[in-house]
Amino acid sequence: MIGGSATVLAPATIGNVGVGLDVLGLAIERPGDRVTATTRKRQSAEEPCARLVEVTGEPGTEPLPPCSASNTACIAAESVLRLANIDAVVELSLHKGLPVGSGLGSSAASSAAAAQATNLALGSMLSQQQLLGACLDAEKAVSGAHADNIAPALLGGLVLVRRAEPLDVLRIPIPDGLHLAIVCPVLQILTRDARAVLEPTVPLQTAIHHSANVAAFVAACYSGDLDALGRCIEDPLAEPARIHMIPGGAEALTAMRAAGALGASLSGSGPTLFALCRSRESAGDAAVAGVDALAGAGVEASPFLSHADCPGARQL
């Protein structure tokens, strides 16, 4: 339907969830990106299919690139038009609630909100699976074929990405009462820089350790065993290579665990840290401990709390 309009909010996400590098992702309550998509007829064959007409942001968010190969909102919207076989222009108004390079899935939130808003403006022509494909097109353009942020940003909840291409995503149940403490330092770590510090190969015992943790994590989610879940939140692959990029990061994770968290790790590439906790009160204690530890290293950080079971992209 050309001439339609829709507004969608897509949430921040915790990529990897500590234990599952590139395969686990979790939607959180806030912050998020908001996109309004309005479709119209193309005025010429040379006119771009998608363009940003307005970009605003919360304090601390970075300006986004113009409508180009580096803009995930535009790429996702263009992909939706292509998949729907619609010759039209979609104009996007984007409000950034997520800082770029925060480890909270900033590019994924923009692409999920844009894809969902464009689809709704067209009359919901595409399935969720097709929308995931459109978002993956956007992620591939900026950081590679990784769906651990786009899947929860679009679908909500906790997801396991069995394969990115062809895309195969599984929903994982979330134990009752699980909450998150999230500590967002005033730092920026770009995904490409964080991936550059990872080794291309790992020792066999490290791979076995990682596989066992992922399997035990999924089992604990299905059984609701929070103690077992906490034992799984250790990352032998990415965290040891990346934690030095955050001054005071290791001390903050230790402090969050000591404050009662079940487990703590990096959110995505960092610098944001998260902890899984038994209750909102416990999450509050862990968040304060993380902020204080970073402050001791001279790093300012903002804390916030979230339920572990949160919705994905939704119409406003």
User: pLDDT for 89-120, tens place per residue?
Assistant: 999 999 999 888 889 998 899 999 999 999 99
Kind of pairing between the strands at 168-172 and 179-185: unpaired
pLDDT value of position 64: 59
Rg value, the chain, Cα: 19
pLDDT value of position 13: 96
pLDDT in tens, 112-149: 999 999 999 999 999 999 999 999 998 887 776 778 99
Angle separating helix axes 72-84 and 128-142, nearest 10 degrees: 140
Q: Any idea which of 4-13, 144-153, 213-222 has the lowest mean pLDDT? A: 144-153
Tokens of 37: 């998509």
User: Phi and psi for 77 in degrees, rounded to 5?
Assistant: -65, -40
How many whole angstroms separate alpha carbon 52 and alpha carbon 67? 6
pLDDT value of position 216: 95
pLDDT value of position 24: 96
Closest CA to 13 of 25, 21, 2, 3: 25
Residue 24 near residue 105, CB atoms below 8 Å:
no
Q: Which residues are catalytic?
A: 139, 191
Domain boundaries, the chain: 5-172, 179-307
How many whole angstroms separate alpha carbon 277 and alpha carbon 98? 23
pLDDT in tens, 67-90: 555 789 999 999 999 999 999 999
Cα–Cα distances (Å) from 66 to 52, 180, 274, in that order, read: 7, 34, 31
Write the burial class of residue 46 (CB in 10 Å: 0-12 exposed, 13-18 middle, 19+ buried).
exposed
pLDDT value of position 212: 94
Closest CA to 28 of 225, 305, 315, 214: 305
pLDDT value of position 67: 56
pLDDT value of position 165: 81
Kind of pairing between the strands at 89-96 and 50-57: parallel
How many whole angstroms separate alpha carbon 192 and alpha carbon 215? 27
Q: Which amino acid makes up residue 11?
A: P
pLDDT in tens, 246-286: 999 999 999 999 999 999 999 988 899 999 999 999 999 99
Write the burial class of residue 59 (CB in 10 Å: 0-12 exposed, 13-18 middle, 19+ buried).
exposed
Q: Any idea which of 32-41, 196-205, 243-252, 261-270 has the lowest mean pLDDT? A: 196-205
Q: Rounded mean pLDDT of the chain?
A: 91
User: Can you say whether the dihedral through the CA atoms of 16, 210, 252, 223 is positive or negative?
Assistant: positive
Tokens of 197: 């510090």
Q: State the pLDDT confidence band at 61, using cuts at 50, 70 and 90.
A: low
Residue 203 has pLDDT above 70, yes or no: yes
Q: State the pLDDT confidence band at 60, using cuts at 50, 70 and 90.
A: low
pLDDT value of position 189: 86
pLDDT value of position 195: 83
Instruction: Look up the CATH number of domain 5-172.
Output: 3.30.230.10
pLDDT value of position 49: 83
pLDDT value of position 44: 80
CATH topology of domain 179-307: Alpha-Beta Plaits (3.30.70)
DSSP assignment of the chain = -TT-EEEEEEEEEEETTTT-TTTEEEEEEEEEEEEEEEEE--SSTTS-SEEEEEEEE-TTPPPPPPSSTT-HHHHHHHHHHHHHT---EEEEEEEE-S-TTSSS-HHHHHHHHHHHHHHHHTTS-S-HHHHHHHHHHHHHHHT-S--TTHHHHHH-SEEEEEETTTTEEEEE---TT-EEEEEEES----HHHHHHTS-SS--HHHHHHHHHHHHHHHHHHHHT-HHHHHHH---SSSHHHHGGGSTTHHHHHHHHHHTT-SEEEESTTSS-EEEEESSHHHHHHHHHHHHHHHHHTT--EEEEEEESS---SEE-
